[in-house]
Structure 1
Amino acid sequence: MKISIPQSVLTVTVAVSALLGLAACSDPGASTAQIPVSTSGTKTFNLTPDQDRVAVTQDPAAAALVPEAIKKDGKLTVAVTLGAAPLGLYARDNLTPIGNEVDIAVALAQSLGLEAEIVPTAWADWPLGVASGKYEAAITNVTVTEERKLKFDFASYREDKLGFYAKSNSPITKIESAADVAGKKVIVGSGTNQEAILLAWDKENVAKGLAPVDFQYYDDDSASSLALLAGRADLTFGPNPTGAYKAAADGKTKLLGTVDGGWPLQASIAVTTEKGNGFAVAAQAGINHLIAEGSYAKILDIWGLSSEAVKHSELNPPGLPAS
């Protein structure tokens, strides 16, 4: 299945791919993640340019909802941030965008009778790009918030989950509540959603006389992974997709529990579109078609994200409140 990539992007990809490989590929709740490429663990990931993508059928009813301004050129221009597997990354040729977000974008476009034009985009650039119409959608792990709903429309396609991970031989078996992290050495990203949750849990524990959390911060993912595997930390707490990918790819870590990204509220990851242009309605219909035909579940399974599946897409679902 062919993905259209603008020539202007191709001419600069080699130069910037190394930099983008170090960039966060999610909302501000995500930590910087380098791309692990080992496939010696419990699941094999295809990181080659030749992606055997899930077959998708067109939904005429959903396609009819696409605004004329978008369908006129037959393409759906989608911003995707690359750098955090399994969401968005470059294949081993350092040219071809792959990952769950790319597959969702390609499948959504096909369900609407369009060709996906994937535009690798820095996280900081998608809001202006979508608002200005440069990108017809952003599919890049965007969490729905009430503040963002003032400027954008959304069609949800995944739950926002954070995950606690430990090395595979850790004696810790589960993390389900605040008491489970008392006295633990936990790696967490500074200024992130997960840090805010952990701070709240720690405050609750201390008030109950439990041991405080030993917060640990690292500048990059490689250093934090090394600290965990060397036993200098008990746990990492961060975006579940990247944690799940690494655990499946090399088998060195294990999942102990997940928490909603907007704890204590549930958060949604959604296709992000220009406010009021009507495309979000088509996107919602397209995603629901993918869910109904089963291709959606297959795409998430390929990248180890089945646990974050939604039963149906919601148009402008409840967003996280402003902090």
Structure 2
Amino acid sequence: MYRKSRLLRLALAGLFSLVVSGASAQDADLNPDQNDRIRVEKVDAAIKLIPADYKFVTPGKLTVATNPGRLPFAAYASDTKTAIGSEPDLAQLVADSLGLQLELVPIAWADWPLGVTSGRFDAAVTNITVTEERKLKFDFSSYRNDLLGFYVPVASKITSISKPEDVAGLRVIVASGTNQEQILLRWIEANKAKGLAATDVQYYDDEAVLDVALQSGRADAYLGPNATSAYKSAKEKKTRLVGTFSGGWPQTAEIAVATKKGAGLADAVTAAVNEQIKNGNYAKVLARWNLSAEAVTQSRTNPPGLPKS
């Protein structure tokens, strides 16, 4: 029913994405030392919320999984081994607040659930959207709003994609297993019920191949996290935004720190984030990576998540 294109990954030695929302590549601090990273003092009120019987993966450290896939969320620094970006910065805020040393563990995004539930990581900070299904296995501490964006080639005749009817007849690229894919497929089903033209859904495992498909005319639009696409658009000037909406459409979606269900760590993390929101350090982290538009006014433990599919 939906065409799924799985292409071989290209051998792109030494290439990593420099895609931060709203700034030029030269503005991104790629130094592994990250001397400009926001550091904070410990928050006693948050530390007191850590259960007395909680055992950290490594005593004295907060071990956090993150996926160095693309900025502004996370990517490798110029040494190709140190994770940098807004997610590592947020993890640093939490670790500092809890009086712990941060231990970042680079992983593939799909590996965080097992890593957290098995106790390999204390937490995962890697652009994770809160869903009701995930809440069965994880506790969450929200820290950012989830926005999605439709991007098209600059020469495209498409001017707006804001509702299901707008994707009828289009060829749309989306990542498999994501919330945006679920939204797109729901839109397609709604259009089918109305007798509208079918949407060709395309999937690519490699970003370079995805770019070629979009620029060559094999696809009409790309749907993904707005933050990464916005920066890439500003940097390369090959695409433009034609629509944004919540990552939980029609509900509001939030990005959160994930910890093991029932471990008791979430309340401490939430308190840590709220203190940094209150004193302005949280805002500095988002501003550093041009994510201010996605800021929350309050962190919440286990906020309402996207409904089960």
TM bucket normalised to smaller: 0.7 to 0.9
Is 1:271–2:257 an aligned residue pair?
yes
1:249 alignment partner, one of 232, 235, 245: 235
- Give the structure 1 partner of residue 75 of structure 2: 89
Distance 1:132 1:191 in 2: 22
Amino acid at match of 1:173: T
Amino acid at match of 1:59: V
Distance 2:38 2:287 in 1: 11
- 1:21-56 Cα shifts (integer Å, max 9, x gaps): 99xxxxxxxxxxx832379x8432222213211243
SS in structure 2 at match of 1:54: coil
SS in structure 1 at match of 2:223: strand
Is 1:117–2:98 an aligned residue pair?
no
- Give the structure 2 partner of residue 134 of structure 1: 120
Bigger shift: residues 184-193 or 152-161 = 184-193
- Give the structure 2 partner of residue 308 of structure 1: 294
Following superposition, the deviation at residue 144 of structure 1 comes to 1.9
Is 1:35–2:16 an aligned residue pair?
yes
- Give the structure 2 partner of residue 67 of structure 1: 51
Distance 1:83 1:65 in 2: 32
- 1:70-97 Cα shifts (integer Å, max 9, x gaps): 5793321111122233222211211211
- Give the structure 1 partner of residue 3 of structure 2: none
Distance 2:237 2:91 in 1: 29
Bigger shift: residues 190-199 or 114-123 = 190-199
Distance 1:315 1:206 in 2: 38
- Give the structure 1 partner of residue 138 of structure 2: 152
Scaled by the length of structure 2, the TM-score of the pair is: 0.83
Following superposition, the deviation at residue 298 of structure 1 comes to 2.1
Matches within 5 A, 1:139-288: 139-208=125-194, 210-288=196-274
SS in structure 1 at match of 2:139: strand
Contact 1:42 1:251 in 2 (8 A): no
Bigger shift: residues 275-284 or 49-58 = 49-58
Contact 1:45 1:249 in 2 (8 A): no
- Give the structure 2 partner of residue 46 of structure 1: 29
Following superposition, the deviation at residue 294 of structure 1 comes to 1.7
Bigger shift: residues 105-114 or 211-220 = 211-220
- Give the structure 2 partner of residue 78 of structure 1: 64
Aligned-residue CA RMSD (Å): 2.8
1:56 alignment partner, one of 27, 40, 47: 40
Following superposition, the deviation at residue 62 of structure 1 comes to 1.7
Contact 2:19 2:70 in 1 (8 A): no
**Ranges in structure 1 where 5+ consecutive residues have no aligned partner:** 1-18, 23-33
Aligned length: 292
- 1:243-289 Cα shifts (integer Å, max 9, x gaps): 23322332322222223223222222211112222211010001111
Amino acid at match of 1:281: D
Scaled by the length of structure 1, the TM-score of the pair is: 0.80
Rate the CA distance shift 1:195–1:127 in 2: closer, same or farther, 3 A: closer
Following superposition, the deviation at residue 143 of structure 1 comes to 2.1
Bigger shift: residues 286-295 or 164-173 = 164-173
- 1:95-118 Cα shifts (integer Å, max 9, x gaps): 211111111001111122222111
Distance 1:122 1:188 in 2: 18
Distance 1:275 1:206 in 2: 39
Distance 1:145 1:248 in 2: 31
Contact 2:152 2:242 in 1 (8 A): yes
Contact 2:148 2:245 in 1 (8 A): yes
**Ranges in structure 2 where 5+ consecutive residues have no aligned partner:** 1-8
SS in structure 2 at match of 1:146: coil
Amino acid at match of 1:304: N
Bigger shift: residues 80-89 or 273-282 = 80-89
Distance 1:286 1:265 in 2: 26
Contact 1:70 1:76 in 2 (8 A): no
- Give the structure 2 partner of residue 28 of structure 1: none
- Give the structure 1 partner of residue 6 of structure 2: none
Distance 1:226 1:201 in 2: 25
Amino acid at match of 1:267: A
